[in-house]
Structure 1
Amino acid sequence: MFKSFYLNKKFAIYAYGVLAVLILFIYTQIALTVALNEWYRDFYDILQAPKAEISKEEFLQNVKDANNSALAQKEFNEANFINKASVYIYQNSLEFFTGSRNVKGHSAYGMISFYHLVMVFLSIALPYVLIYALSVYIASLYALKWREAMTFEYIKFWKEKDDNIEGSSQRIQEDCYRFSKLVEDLGIKIFKAFMTLLAFLPILYTLSDPISKALFNSISDENVFSFLKHIDGFLVYLALFVSLGGLLISWFVGIKLPGLEYNNQKAEAAFRKELVYAEDNRSKYASDKSILELFTGITTNYKRLFLHYGYFNIWLIMFEQSLVILPFLIVAPSLFSGVVGLGIVMQMNSAFDNVRTSFSVFILNWTMITELRSVYKRLKEFEKNVGYK
């Protein structure tokens, strides 16, 4: 499956070259996402401190006060290798539209600041949309090329076998593409999740300190939960705990899905095979009895599959919806006690969601993983039957 594409001289340059391009696109998307996270802080701070009118002199004074190159340089220096690009993008977008690389710290903001921040958002969001669309297109071509490599490699071995192999046409025609497409989709999501963690973990770790102190301020040192006050990066550990717990539960809830998917493919292959034979000899194949038996097997398996996916979807939706409000419950004490402003709340919510979603990448794509396991099992059996090594 992998050898035919990555170790084949005919496809190796394409395989590794386009993969490098996709990695570059993912890096750029993460950098723009982090830049938007910085924008959330400033934008919601502006919404929290509105002023009906602000004179041009006040605005210019704000720009002058905020234009602290030393502070901007410090923020850039403290960022990791992913976030340096994000800080650079955001600071330069601010400077282009506002004349300042820093708009934080004012007691009030006017409409002019609001419109400038909207333009900053568009300058970050629009390139993200274009890069994302281009990466999806290139990734689709990548999966197609992978299918081509697998298909012609398998056909060489399959043509040498005289004995019949169950569902061979389906495995070559359909499963090769499904495998390459699923691996490409899942691989990109996992790598993007990894890069997102590298970018957002430092942000969430930094935001954890004031929020956790306000959250556990009322807990006395004699309380059994007093240790929570002294955990650095509390929000990071919370996101990890929630995600691992969700993954463990998802494993048990969906434990039967891979087997059902595999059985479903076998039932579909048998039905398709009968219809293909009937194209050449309808008197011998596709009788009412055989069609009824084959289709009954398909419907029985699908009903079981739908039932188990129903259980799994109930759990997954409950898990996702319950986490929408969790960050706000955590940060509420800090907001209402005045420790943080609305901008920090929204920045924390965005950072927490990105970290938690990245930790939960396997939960959120469990259906895809289940399907991939089924396809992999079928192709592995096919390789063994045709003597592919």
Structure 2
Amino acid sequence: MFQSFFPHPKLFFLSFAFWSLACVVGWYLVAQDIGVHLSLASLFGVDFPAALMEGADEAAQAAFQSAQSTALNAWLYQYMAVCYLIFVGVWVAYGGQKWAKWSVVGSALIVFITWFQVQVSVMLNEWYGTFYDLIQKALAEPNSILLTDYYAQLSTVAVIIMVAITVSVLSNFFISHYVFRWRTAMTRYYTSKWDQVRHIEGASQRIQEDTMRFASIVEGLGVSLLRSVMTLIAFLPILWGLSGYVKELPLIGEVPQALVFTAIIWSIFGTVLLALAGIKLPGLEFNNQRVEAAYRKELVYGEDHVDRATPISLNELFDNVRKNYFRLYANYLYFNVVRYGYLNVGQFVPLIVLAPSIIAGAFTLGVMQRVLNAFNQVENSFQYLINSWTTIVELLSIYKRLKAFEAVIDNSPLASIDQTNV
């Protein structure tokens, strides 16, 4: 599943994790401070500003912060480019895998796009704060702002949205090709071993359908995991800073960093709850594929052989399909009760947490919007397993089906579920 597409999969993913961690730590400990000496953005007129004089007014401080942020962002892109080139260059040169250009370079590009989309979310979060502060001023003091000021502020988000849309469209186009290349690699590998795996139940379906679904789901879950981690890296410091506006929690009282504390506790609670509620689903999904494959196989035989696909045998096979589906429906019934109950209650958690601060008038409407957005971003990142659980269940069933191929190819015993009759 992985070896056919990635060079030395275990080492590749492990090195990616360690290299990513090293680059992130290196940025915060060393790299961001030496940008003033190494950044090439000065060639394009983007320079780090000179230090402010003591006692500078607010306008000068705001201008300094803006110039500093722009120069630092330009240096960050250069730093990331170097990190990417080192990692990709080493694996393309020494990986020794014919699909390396797609698996290594393509994976690096997907990681960068994911990071960029998170940065767009950060920009939108800042924009919401400014925009809702403007609305609060307009509502509190009628005619205090001009209509042109309102539309001017509203139009600034258009650039952010246009960039986000363009990147998302191009990203989806590239990922479609990436997934199909992965499917191609798996298909060629399994078909080269066809004589060994052809006796596996539903072998043709596993090669024709499961390879595509596996590549697509793993890519989707991988990107979601990366986005969750990157969102945490980007928004957790923001939520940490905004927690200064929230001094206490309802019924609990004063809690340091109350917003971060609530997001973590609520997410852990939901993850454990849904894991317990859905513990039986992977096995039922796997059995579902098996009984469907057996029923479909008998129908195919019946097209060419008059003694196959008799009503009695078809009814028996379809009974197996029906029984498994009904078990699946029953399990999803209580799983969805827990899942949708948790998610619907969760959307009101930040409003409950903010209640004492709202009553005390501790912040503006703009700050409140930033808090709600940052809280939701951090909460959703912590809820990766909750949001992806049904997809993970589907992936586990596909993985078990393809793992039977791996077992036969490696001359290992089949899993017990593949040794039992349907």
Aligned partner of residue 9 in structure 1, secondary structure? coil
Task: Measure, in 1, the Cα distance between the counterparts of 2:411 and 2:183.
Answer: 16
**Deviation at residue 134 of structure 1 after TM alignment:** 2.0
Asked if 1:25 corresponds to 2:113, the answer is: yes
**1:66-109 CA distance string (max 9 Å, x none):** xxxxxxxxxxxxxxxxxxxxxxxxxxxxxxxxxxxxxxxxxx53
Task: Pick the aligned partner of 2:323 from 281, 288, 300.
Answer: 300
Q: Which runs of 4+ in 1 moved over 4 A?
A: none
Relative contact order (alpha carbons < 8 A, sep ≥ 6): 1 or 2 greater? Answer: 1
Aligned partner of residue 6 in structure 1, secondary structure? coil
- Return the letter of the residue paired with 1:250: L
Paired residue for 2:165?
Answer: 129
Task: Measure, in 2, the Cα distance between the counterparts of 1:303 and 1:137.
Answer: 38
Task: Measure, in 2, the Cα distance between the counterparts of 1:356 and 1:312.
Answer: 20
Paired residue for 1:244?
Answer: 268
**Deviation at residue 336 of structure 1 after TM alignment:** 2.8
Matches within 5 A, 1:97-108: 108=144
- Return the letter of the residue paired with 1:141: H
| TM-score, L = length of structure 2 | 0.73
- Which stretch shows the higher mean deviation, 118-127 or 183-192? 118-127
Paired residue for 1:16?
Answer: 104
**1:105-125 CA distance string (max 9 Å, x none):** xxx533222211211111112
The answer on whether the counterparts of 2:239 and 2:260 sit within 8 Å (CA) in structure 1 is yes
Matches within 5 A, 1:188-203: 188-203=223-238
Paired residue for 1:47?
Answer: 135
Task: Pick the aligned partner of 1:280 from 295, 300, 304.
Answer: 304
Percentage of matched positions with identical amino acids: 39
Task: Measure, in 2, the Cα distance between the counterparts of 1:33 and 1:120.
Answer: 14
Task: Pick the aligned partner of 1:328 from 339, 351, 366.
Answer: 351
- Return the letter of the residue paired with 2:154: V
The answer on whether the counterparts of 1:52 and 1:110 sit within 8 Å (CA) in structure 2 is no
Task: Measure, in 2, the Cα distance between the counterparts of 1:336 and 1:45.
Answer: 18
Paired residue for 1:258?
Answer: 282
Task: Pick the aligned partner of 2:193 from 124, 145, 157.
Answer: 157
For structure 1, list consecutive stretches of 5 or more residues without a partner in the other structure: 54-107, 220-224
Aligned partner of residue 10 in structure 1, secondary structure? coil
Task: Pick the aligned partner of 1:181 from 212, 216, 221.
Answer: 216
Task: Pick the aligned partner of 1:318 from 306, 316, 341.
Answer: 341
- Return the letter of the residue paired with 1:298: V
**1:129-176 CA distance string (max 9 Å, x none):** 221222222222211111110011011112356x72221111111111
The answer on whether the counterparts of 2:350 and 2:372 sit within 8 Å (CA) in structure 1 is yes
Aligned partner of residue 4 in structure 1, secondary structure? coil
**Deviation at residue 387 of structure 1 after TM alignment:** 3.3
**1:257-289 CA distance string (max 9 Å, x none):** 0010010011011011112222221x1211101
**Deviation at residue 25 of structure 1 after TM alignment:** 1.1
Paired residue for 2:29?
Answer: none
Paired residue for 1:267?
Answer: 291
Q: How many residues align?
A: 322
Aligned partner of residue 246 in structure 2, secondary structure? helix
**Deviation at residue 52 of structure 1 after TM alignment:** 4.4
| TM-score, L = length of structure 1 | 0.79
The answer on whether the counterparts of 1:5 and 1:15 sit within 8 Å (CA) in structure 2 is yes
Task: Measure, in 2, the Cα distance between the counterparts of 1:388 and 1:173.
Answer: 23
CA RMSD between the two structures? 1.8
- Return the letter of the residue paired with 1:280: D
**Deviation at residue 46 of structure 1 after TM alignment:** 1.0
Task: Measure, in 1, the Cα distance between the counterparts of 2:229 and 2:142.
Answer: 44
